Amino acid sequence: MVKIKINGNEYQADPSKTIIEAARENGISIPHFCWHPRLSVSGNCRMCLVEVEKSPKLVIACATKVADGMVINTKNERVEKAQNAVMEFILINHPLDCPICDEAGECKLQDYSYKYDKGVSRFEEEKVRKPKRVELGPNVMLDVERCIMCSRCVRFCDEIAGKPQLVFSNRGDHVELTTAPGEKLDTPYSMNVIELCPVGALTSRDFRFKARVWEMSSTESICRGCARGCNMNIWVRNNEILRLTPRLNPEVNDYWMCDNGRLNTFKYVNSDQRIKSPMITKDGEMVETSWEEGIAYLVHKIQNFKKNEIAGIGSPFATNEDNYVFAKFMKQIIGTPHVDFSRHIVEGEEDNLLIRNDKTPNTLGAFEAGVYPSEKGYNFQQILKAIESKELKCIYVLCDDIAVAPEVRDALSKVDFLIVHSPIKNTLTAIADIVFPTATYAEKNGTFTNFQGRVQRIRPAIATAEMDRSSDGMSLSRWDKFGAQNDKWTKGNKLDVRPTWRILSSIANTINPKFRYNSAEEIFNELSSTIDSFKGLSYLKIGSKGAFLNKKTINEKKSIKVS
């Protein structure tokens, strides 16, 4: 450790650190465009110039190591003058595009213009014109004019994604970001360059012009795309999810998120295929019904079967809470030992960065929460066989479209009574006898357990019919806060769906009045007091970055290996 002085205050710093890192650790921010904590230093934007005493010129904080006795000034007159000059220089060829630029509102260049620019330019010549609307890849749009040549995206592709797909061509003010001829920016992590880009040069093609960033609310959540459980934010306007962006968690996903997670895990929430009310099959046709009637019908029907004729299939897509209540309901209320869930493993998908073979967010959690066969109970494959042999006649399936596999579909269509929880219409609901519409991961509280054994919170970002954004403590946009009931943009589409644990709780409640839960947190507290691996955990402890399961108890259970 060495002693340094920043702006007159003394600090201890690690001599392997650069000035910008040492300053950040002590809460002093130095403006920068090209520097990023996870990328190599390129030092080309010159925005981080600081004054080091006894050094004749200003030095760049991102590439200068701290040394013992270093006296650094980050905001005296000389530094401010340099910052003004750098800003004026960068803005020379930057178009005044802010009104049409998707980055506006979260743009580093925009923010720094307010903070470090004088607001006047001495440049009177024509700006250099470059191509706009360049489709850089399937998910990323490039506006070459807006690029300030910080090279963050180039370094990301080289160093993090491991695919050097981006490069600068030409010289001077004609420098252009480009891919090799015929090549595309198509790594599975290509969309991370959108957040990396400090300006609006790289923007999302999916989110393009959908909303301004200040119109949306953002909610901390967890990606359901694979067992990694990337931390992310859900951006919502008028009760519709518009985009997902990664949220920093150094121990899970760092700053990154894969394109598949960003694009393909939320669209079903907004889809018109959502189920709007409980449905019952009557005379071969699905008819809508009320919650009360649906539940009464189910309870009436289920009594026709013996304990051993019923099996429950949980879901690795459902939360720990849902699976816990399901396991408890099946094993204690129904009394069947046949409880398991289907695994979704795609071999060979895994890489060194984020993507996992296991395509569900909660495999470990579903198992730990109790969704496994009791003694003499059947596992998933055995349940399918037992259906064929008519030993099992009633199957209860949680939110998981297991019927996409033809052999599972064939087996399940032979069942006398098939109960399904599902947020959307799919192959499974098509053959079900009763369907309950459930809340998706974006509409409820709960926890997922990722492959590392880290329990992470999800929070409701979309309001359902029974929820109110402000009184339920959900994140609010300005529109949500100040809109009245009769405003078009506060109406949104609110579905009459319920979280799985609530549906199960209402069903079980009619059989055993003691079986009753009022919130996901109440279930989690029970779960953490009854199941060893969850011991000591609470929503408070999980917080926004997650907390680990009790590791010892996980390792003891060999049966966690996927079947």
Please identify, using beta-carbon distances, which residue of 123 and 482 lies nearer to another protein. 482
Nearest residue (CB) to another protein, 59 versus 98: 98
Does position 214 interact with another protein (CB under 8 A)? The reply is yes
Which of 133, 514, 552, 558 forms a contact with another protein (CB under 8 A)?
Answer: 133
For the CB of residue 96, give the shortest distance to another protein in the complex, in Å. 8
User: Exactly one of 24, 210, 494, 545 binds another protein (CB under 8 A); which one?
Assistant: 210
Q: Return the number of the residue (73 or 270) whose C-beta is nearest another protein.
A: 270
Contacts with another protein in 90-109 (CB under 8 A)?
A: 98-100, 104
Q: Can residue 316 be called a binding residue for another protein (CB under 8 A)?
A: no
**Residue range at the interface with another protein (CB under 8 A); choices 29-37, 210-218, 291-299, 335-343:** 210-218
To another protein, the closest distance from the beta carbon of 212 in angstroms equals: 4
Give whichever of 141 and 311 is closer to another protein, judged by the CB atom: 141
Complex with another protein: residue 136 or 310, whichever CB lies closer: 136
CA dihedral 210, 211, 216, 222 (to 10 degrees): 30
Using CA atoms, how far residue 373 sits from 194, 327, 515, 516, in Å, is 45, 9, 21, 23
Q: What is the smallest separation between the CB atom of 169 and another protein, expressed in angstroms?
A: 24
CB closer to another protein, 204 vs 336 = 204
Residue pair 227/360 in contact (Cβ under 8 Å)? The answer is yes
Minimum CB separation of residue 377 from another protein in Å reads 53
Comparison of 101 and 244: residue with beta carbon closer to another protein: 101
CB of 43 to another protein, least distance (A): 33
Q: In what order do the strands lie in the sheet with 231-237?
A: 217-222, 231-237, 240-246
| Binding region for another protein (CB under 8 A) out of 63-71, 121-129, 416-424, 485-493 | 485-493
What distance in Å separates the CA atoms of residue 360 and residue 543, rounded to the nearest whole number?
Answer: 22
Position among 209, 348, 518, 561 found at the interface with another protein (CB under 8 A): 209
- Considering beta carbons, is residue 433 or 480 the nearer one to another protein? 480
491 near another protein (CB under 8 A):
no
129 makes contact with another protein (CB under 8 A):
no
Size of the residue set binding another protein (CB under 8 A) = 21
SS3 320: helix
CB closer to another protein out of 168 and 214: 214
Minimum CB separation of residue 236 from another protein in Å reads 15
Strands 70-73 and 2-6: parallel
Q: C-beta of 239: minimal distance to another protein in Å?
A: 14
Classify strands 140-142 and 547-548 as parallel, antiparallel or unpaired. unpaired
Burial class (CB in 10 A: 0-12, 13-18, 19+), 48: buried
Judge contact between 239 and 497, C-beta under 8 A.
no
Beta carbons of 94 and 184 less than 8 angstroms apart: no
Helix, strand, coil percentages for the chain (3-state, nearest 5): 30, 20, 50
- Residue 132 in contact with another protein, rule: CB under 8 A: yes
Q: What does the H/E/C string look like for 370-404?
A: CCCCCCCCCCHHHHHHHHHCCCCCEEEECCCCHHH
Among 57, 488, 514, 561, binds another protein (CB under 8 A): 488
For residue 195, the surrounding DSSP H or E stretch is helix 192-196
* Closer residue to another protein in complex, CB, 202/415: 202
Query: Cα separations (Å) of 212 from 104, 208, 244, 340, 517?
Result: 8, 10, 14, 44, 39
Interface pick for another protein out of 25, 487, 522, 556 (rule CB under 8 A): 487
**In this structure, what token pair is assigned to residue 393?**
């006649």
Nearest distance in Å: CB 412, another protein: 42
Q: What is the CA radius of gyration of the chain?
A: 28
Alpha carbon 484 to chain centroid distance? 30
Dmax (CA) for the chain in angstroms is: 89
> Closest CB to another protein among 80 and 487?
487
3-class secondary-structure state, position 451: coil
Report the residue from 486, 513, 514, 558 that binds another protein according to the rule CB under 8 A. Answer: 486
The Cα 525–Cα 318 span in angstroms is 17
Between 445 and 484, how does the x/- string for binding to another protein read (CB under 8 A)? ---------------------------------xx--xx-
- Whole-number Å distance between alpha carbons of 24 and 32: 12
Are residues 460 and 219 in contact, defined by beta-carbon separation less than 8 angstroms? yes
**For residues 100 and 180, which CB has a smaller minimum distance to another protein in the complex?**
100
Nearest to 72 by CA among 129, 111, 23, 121: 23
Binding site for another protein (CB under 8 A): 98-100, 104, 132-133, 208-212, 214-215, 478-479, 482-483, 486-489
